[in-house]
Amino acid sequence: ETGVTQSPTHLIKTRGQQVTLRCSSQSGHNTVSWYQQALGQGPQFIFQYYREEENGRGNFPPRFSGLQFPNYSSELNVNALELDDSALYLCASSPLGQGFSGANVLTFGAGSRLTVL
């Protein structure tokens, strides 16, 4: 069974630019969550996608948006990048849809490390 894969692994952008990060969920998983992990911090929940719709959102501004595709893969888009957006962006898939209730079902990808200059 394939795990969660993310791309790109590293990227550098400048302030004001836009970025798209991609995630392929683990086989059999239909739900994708995105997290931001700043240096020295724990992962912060951005949002979750289930059945191609946003299903829960953390405390992130609207310039953070996403998509989920019929094959359950997902994209995270960040517009008008700011220096504080520099972080590791983690995608986690899970086999549950609505009613998700446990961290024990999350499988994380290796992340995309974004640097904003």
- Are the beta carbons of 68 and 50 closer than 8 angstroms? yes
DSSP β-ladder status, 5-7 and 10-13: unpaired
Instruction: Give the per-residue contact string, 76-115, with other proteins (x = CB under 8 A; - = no).
Output: --------------x--------xxxxxx-x-xxxx-x--
Question: Does residue 55 interact with other proteins by CB under 8 A?
Answer: yes
Cis peptide before 95 (omega within 30 of 0): no
Among positions 5, 11, 56, 67, the unique one binding other proteins when judged by CB under 8 A: 56
Q: Nearest distance from residue 16's CB to other proteins, in Å?
A: 27
Could you give the count of Cα atoms lying within 13 Å of 74 in the half-sphere of its Cβ? 32
Sites of contact with other proteins (CB under 8 A): 33, 35, 40-45, 48, 55-58, 90, 99-104, 106, 108-111, 113
